[in-house]
Amino acid sequence: MDPLMNQANWLKRQGIPSLTLLAGIIMGVVFFQYFANYKNAVVLDRQVAARGALTDDEQNTIKVFEEAASSVVFITTKRRGYDFFRNVTEQPAGTGSGFVWDHNGHIVTNFHVLQGGNAFEVVLLDQSIHEAKVVGLYPDKDMAILKIDAPKELLRPIPLGTSGELIVGQKVLAIGNPFGLDHSLSTGVVSALDRTIESVNGRQIKEVIQTDAAINPGNSGGPLLDSSGRLIGINTQILSRSGASAGIGFAIPVDAVRRAAPQLIRFGQVRRAGLGVSVNRNQRIRRQLASRGIEGVLIMAVQPGSAADRAGLRGTTRIGRRFQVGDILVGVNQEKIRNNNDLYNALDQLEVGQEVTIEYLREGEVFKTQLTLEAITAQ
């Protein structure tokens, strides 16, 4: 019997119509071939598009980052101590950013980056780790300077600009280590100028730069740059309800850094112009004076031999159970003084050795005197 007939009969016995099976095989082959060809067609048909030239702004951003990145450092703050067995222990206290100030290994950062620690490490761009020591602290401006011993070829001081010529709307770049992610770049603009923020010790920091460049925890102490790659500020604070960037960041102006850094390196502290007096910081006394309609800063004590002493200013004295109220400062160089911050900000703009006119209230009458400002240590 014909073999094909035998196969057909077998298929019938199995209940499988031969034509249906054959049709299924053919359709399977056709669909397989179709999808194989379709896949190949898709792969062969999709090609990488040419990128095209980078914009001038992109090229500028890339250039600034590449040149400035080697100046930015990662700072780790630790608390070092001893356990019961006198073994050295270390606990992490925080991280932040900083930048190279000079070839001698001085690193500028925020005071609050170092706050709470007693041991510090600086990581440079090449990932080398260097023990750092504190050279100077200036909490009034939330500034601090560390020093590391590193090869000079690894130390690239950041170019300095000026904050006095900034314009709202100009481009800025922030480089730092947000959330421990080293050398992260964000860009934005100068959102506002002459903002006032509060430092860690409650003192006001004036002339602060506001920017919408993303600043997050870990960015503190890092540089804010202009489009020429020059330092224009130190990223220091954000205004945010969540604790992360909300597009409102603040940077200490570079002009304040340029004034303070040399003194911090040389003396370990900033020597500001002062009168040689201690003033009232008691809120109750302030309220009592305000209730009597008196605005100004009450002198509590005059340092013997100081400029204020030579000018005849008087401090507050105690007679038995009563206090003899001292002179109340109400003006410096025709600038009205209403509170401690007014006095601090007025003196911050003046130089040691400069002659100024002081107005003060004594027994209800306003007097004027001139004195020469002298160096005092900033707290």
Hey, what's the torsion of the CAs at 84, 85, 88, 89, to 10 degrees?
-40
pLDDT tens digits for range 316-359:
998 777 878 899 999 999 899 998 888 988 888 888 899 999 99
Tell whether 318 and 368 lie within a shared domain. yes
Find the CATH number of the domain harbouring 242.
Answer: 2.40.10.10
Tell whether 31 and 116 lie within a shared domain. no
So what's the pLDDT on residue 270?
Answer: 86
Tell whether 286 and 350 lie within a shared domain. yes
Judge whether 217 and 249 are in contact, CB under 8 Å.
Answer: no
Determine, yes or no, domain membership for 309: yes
So what's the pLDDT on residue 77?
Answer: 92
pLDDT tens digits for range 259-304:
899 999 998 988 888 999 999 888 888 888 888 888 999 999 999 9
Tell whether 280 and 342 lie within a shared domain. yes
Q: What is the mean pLDDT of residues 251-261?
A: 93
pLDDT tens digits for range 199-227:
988 888 989 999 999 988 888 999 999 99
Domain boundary at 97, 124, 154, which? 154
Domain boundary at 90, 122, 154, which? 154
Domain boundary at 122, 154, 186, which? 154
Tell whether 180 and 145 lie within a shared domain. no
Q: Is the pLDDT of residue 28 over 70?
A: no
Determine, yes or no, domain membership for 165: no
Q: How many domains does the chain have?
A: 4
So what's the pLDDT on residue 285?
Answer: 85
Tell whether 183 and 215 lie within a shared domain. yes
Catalytic residue among 140, 142, 342, 348: 142
Q: Is the pLDDT of residue 365 over 50?
A: yes
Tell whether 300 and 358 lie within a shared domain. yes
Determine, yes or no, domain membership for 95: yes
Tell whether 243 and 303 lie within a shared domain. no
pLDDT band at 29 (very low <50, low <70, confident <90, very high): low
220 is catalytic: yes
Catalytic residue among 97, 112, 130, 184: 112
- High-pLDDT (> 90) share of the chain, %: 56
Task: Domain of residue 9: give its range.
Answer: 3-45
Catalytic residue among 220, 226, 327, 348: 220
Instruction: Tell me how far the alpha carbon of residue 271 is from its chain's centroid.
Output: 23
112 is catalytic: yes
Stated pTM of the model: 0.74
